Amino acid sequence: MQSTRLAKLLEFLSNDPNDPFVLYALATEYNNSNDVEKAFEYYLKLTAEHPDYVGTYYHLGKLYEKQQQKEEAITTYQKGMAVAKNKRDMHAFSELQGAYNSAAGLDYEDD
């Protein structure tokens, strides 16, 4: 089933290689199937070619964290917060800020 979904996404990409949603869907599909190299490839392509596609930053940051690349994750969350703020997407900003706080060790729990 998953290979069918991947094949369909790759077909969509061949029809419109610059569609940010398709790039995002491919990155997510590769991430979900633990193809880290391909997931990074598509997430980084999105941040380079579609820097305002705000959803990318949260998932790219999480992928960096999963790969024990904490500084890259923190930087990614910061960039994403700036993009979300500029787009006035406060929901995305809040999610990115939470991820940033966690990665930076700024979150805490009341005892």
Domain assignments of the chain as residue spans, ordered by start: 2-103
Name the CATH architecture for the domain at 2-103.
Answer: Alpha Horseshoe (1.25)
The residue type of 96 is L
Cβ-count burial of 37 within 10 angstroms (0-12 exposed, 13-18 middle, 19+ buried)?
exposed
- DSSP notation for 31-60: HHTT-HHHHHHHHHHHHHH-TT-THHHHHH
pTM of the model: 0.89
Residue ranges of the chain with pLDDT lower than 50?
A: 1, 111
Region of residue 35 (phi > 0: left; psi between -120 and 50: alpha; otherwise: beta)? beta
